[in-house]
Amino acid sequence: MPQRVLIAGTSPLLAARLAARCLTATDAAGTEVVLLSAVRSGPGAPAPGRRELADYVMRCGTGDGVPDASGAGRLTVVCAEPDAVAAELTARSAERVWCVVPGWDRSPARGARADAALTGSLLTALPALGARGYVHVGPDTTPDDGLAHPAYRDLERLAVEACLNAGVSWRVLRTAPVVDAGAPELGECPPGAHRLLWALHSVRAEIADRVPDWFERHPLRVAGTAGLGLPLLDAGQAADGLWRAGGTGDLPDGFAAVPRSAPVPLADVLARAGAVYGVDVCPVPDRDAFDAADRLLDLRLTDVRRQSVPLPDADAASAPASPCSSPPGGAGGGEAASAPAALSPAGQWEVFGAVRARQSSSGGVRDAGLRRRDVEVAGRPLTLFEGGSGDGPPLLVLNALGQGPGFLTRLCAHLAPHHRVVTWQVRGTERADPAWGTRHQLDDIDAVLGAVGAGHAHLLGWCTGAKIATAFQQHRPDAVASLVFLNATFRQDGRWDGMDTKYEADLAAVCRALDRRPDRAARMLDLLAPGAAGGRGSPGARDAGVLGVLSGALADEVRRPFRDAEVLVRYARQLVDLWRLDSAAQAPRVAVPALFVCSEFDGISSPARAREAARCFPRARYAELAVAGHYAPHDRPALVAELITEFVRAPHEVADLVRHAEITWHVDTEGTAR
């Protein structure tokens, strides 16, 4: 019988699969489907648009990947921000409502919040929608797989209670994570196999950006895979199982779960995926011989190991698969289903190859799309770069002294879809520039705010830009919404002595000498080699190896302050002036939230000093990136942009919202960094 079905989800992949299944159901001829995607777009995980979702649904409906427009006239796709879902529902009606909240967000806290918001909006709207049936799809979790979040069981209880009160029939379904070649194009990375593929892709890209042929000579070692298997549940099979359990109108109220597929040995999955990505993945018994590259992969595989399951022994493997059953305490319903077969080796090759192809086509260097214009400040031109979109105050990106925009291009490209971004060419080192000290830099920030028509802004300072941002907040407290410090140097005369990196110590000696004897500049040009710095961080830190090599894209940028004697003298005097600035005295008066993002292997700006500086800020959060160097905003732009975006949205919750194994948070119970 024709009806209208509303399928709303925080997983565009699974919700779209269910929409395709509904449109092609033999008993659903003439059924209209509204697919509502409630996904908040973020750096590294862009939410799909209406066209992408509609095309994907049509492809899934054919089963062969070829678009079929026969159901297009019965499909309506709506994309809404999570906080706009309630308003969107006021214009809808539906006899059956699906709420698809499988808990697949990379951040459990962020995902649980978004899933709870969608569930609450749908349950509240059930009477107004005219719904007669409600199907809730949540995660099928175990206590140790990294997905179990008590909020999801609370949502199930809330759904049952709301349906009983409204007189609506209900089904609560659970599903394990899925594998699907279309996940990257929908901006989704479900737990399990997709996180494994992302780990290989991201580590390979980060290393190849430095040494393109490194993988021709070096394997990546992995540990902790023995005896573990990874379930590989095809997304189409999962959608079919969910539809059988909840799509038929005469099913009784109750619980059901899509059976998990038999696990595939994790070592085998890694070997196949490594071959697809051109990486020799070598299992080892322990981590004792790991280098920095191995450590990075190991960290990014952390939740993959949590989502793995023990492999059955030979006797258990030969026994028949146990049928699907209702969870304890739940009402049964529907026929028991046998566990689906795991994705075959041939299927793995096909899916892994398709995922890599999509990652490669969408994961290249992005264009920030910033427009250049010159404004006159103090009688001289100041070059601005601005662009992006987003509500709220803009992000003013303060570059390091003496540097060009190339260091931050990738970061700005990841920020621009979510924020209005403004940066500029820091003055004072070019031959045509007059002497330009810290006070002049503050005047430039004032001028930039006026030029872009902003009363206040979030200030983002990289390297030496952090001290200037702090000084501006004291100069214009009302103009600063928050402070973000990336790989900050808070070097200061007479403070935090003994914490210099080797590069800082050498640079300080050269700059002070040039401040007194500028005529020696030509002889000192070759004493500093910034491109070689960053291979070792704080004293005692392990060697960064290939991750300490400078990206080839920055080879010319790092030489900018050292290209000739006159520029070097100007740069040296700017630094000497900055080192006189007492940021430690200013910091306790900074009333706005501050985020420090530093790197374990920063061999240019001391992470130890940044941690000490963070103690002085009353509302600071400090995040340290493992096996990362000074140029982390360039090397890991999506991760850094995610930190910035979540901090701007919810500064006091950022440590809970961005949880990755490669991030170490230093926050005490009072919220002050330590």
Assess whether 467 and 568 both reside in one domain: yes
In a domain, 356, yes or no: no
> For the segment 62-108, what is each residue's pLDDT rounded down to a tens digit?
654 444 556 668 999 999 988 899 999 998 999 999 999 999 998 88
d(CA 605, CA 141): 42
Other Cβ atoms within 10 Å of 619 Cβ, number: 18
- Range in 46-60, 130-144, 467-481, 548-562 the model is least confident about: 130-144
Nearest to 549 by CA among 563, 533, 569: 533
- Residue 429: the pLDDT is 83
> For the segment 590-635, what is each residue's pLDDT rounded down to a tens digit?
999 999 999 999 999 999 999 999 999 999 999 999 999 999 999 9
Assess whether 317 and 431 both reside in one domain: no
Assess whether 423 and 472 both reside in one domain: yes
Is residue 7 within 8 A of residue 18, CB to CB? The reply is yes
Mean predicted confidence (pLDDT) in 412-419: 93
Nearest to 292 by CA among 541, 537, 547, 534: 547
pLDDT range class, residue 42, cuts 50, 70, 90: confident
Assess whether 463 and 324 both reside in one domain: no
Residue predicted with more confidence, 348 or 381: 348
pLDDT range class, residue 247, cuts 50, 70, 90: confident
Assess whether 100 and 164 both reside in one domain: yes
What is the distance of C-alpha 170 from the center of its chain?
Answer: 35
In a domain, 231, yes or no: yes
User: 673 pLDDT exceeds 60?
Assistant: no
In a domain, 364, yes or no: no
Assess whether 555 and 440 both reside in one domain: yes
| Cα torsion angle, 266, 272, 276, 278, sign | positive
Residue predicted with more confidence, 328 or 419: 419
- Residue 363: the pLDDT is 59
pLDDT range class, residue 389, cuts 50, 70, 90: confident
- Residue 335: the pLDDT is 41
- Residue 28: the pLDDT is 61
d(CA 283, CA 289): 12
pLDDT range class, residue 320, cuts 50, 70, 90: very low
| Cα torsion angle, 490, 494, 495, 501, sign | positive
In a domain, 194, yes or no: no
Other Cβ atoms within 10 Å of 25 Cβ, number: 14
- C-alpha count within 13 angstroms, C-beta hemisphere, residue 236: 17
> For the segment 493-508, what is each residue's pLDDT rounded down to a tens digit?
989 888 999 889 989 9
Q: Which helix (DSSP H) or strand (DSSP E) does residue 281 occupy?
A: strand 281-283
In a domain, 290, yes or no: no
Is residue 66 within 8 A of residue 38, CB to CB? The reply is no
Is residue 281 within 8 A of residue 272, CB to CB? The reply is no
Task: Choose from 320-334, 412-426, 534-548 the range with maximum mean pLDDT.
Answer: 412-426
Assess whether 116 and 164 both reside in one domain: yes
> For the segment 644-670, what is each residue's pLDDT rounded down to a tens digit?
999 999 999 999 999 999 999 985 534
| Cα torsion angle, 229, 235, 236, 239, sign | positive
Domain of residue 183 covers: 4-188+223-268+307-338
Is residue 116 within 8 A of residue 157, CB to CB? The reply is no
In a domain, 276, yes or no: no
The domain that holds 401 is classified in CATH as 3.40.50.1820
- Range in 55-64, 267-276, 514-523, 649-658 the model is least confident about: 55-64
User: 442 pLDDT exceeds 70?
Assistant: yes
Residue predicted with more confidence, 342 or 645: 645
The domain that holds 158 is classified in CATH as 3.40.50.720
What length does the chain have?
674
d(CA 291, CA 284): 13
d(CA 158, CA 155): 5
For every residue of 209-225, DSSP letters joined together read TT-TTGGGT--EEE-S-
- Total structural domains in the chain? 2
In a domain, 387, yes or no: yes
Tokens of 604: 């240019």
Assess whether 326 and 400 both reside in one domain: no
- Residue 44: the pLDDT is 78
Assess whether 326 and 470 both reside in one domain: no
What letter represents residue 395's amino acid? Answer: L
Is residue 551 within 8 A of residue 635, CB to CB? The reply is yes
For every residue of 67-116, DSSP letters joined together read --GGGGGGEEEEE--GGGHHHHHTT---SEEEEE-----SSHHHHHHHHH
Placement of tokens 């992995």 in the chain: 222
In a domain, 321, yes or no: yes
Assess whether 264 and 390 both reside in one domain: no
Tokens of 301: 């595989």
Model pTM score: 0.91
Assess whether 436 and 381 both reside in one domain: yes
User: 146 pLDDT exceeds 50?
Assistant: no
First to last CA, the chain: 63
User: 297 pLDDT exceeds 60?
Assistant: yes
Is residue 101 within 8 A of residue 159, CB to CB? The reply is no
Instruction: Based on DSSP, count helices (H) and strands (E) in the chain, helices before strands.
Output: 23, 21
Assess whether 539 and 454 both reside in one domain: yes
Residue predicted with more confidence, 87 or 334: 87
User: 137 pLDDT exceeds 50?
Assistant: yes
- Mean residue pLDDT of the chain comes to 88
Residue predicted with more confidence, 473 or 327: 473
338, 355, 384 - which closes a domain: 338
Residue predicted with more confidence, 364 or 524: 524
Tokens of 575: 């630094």
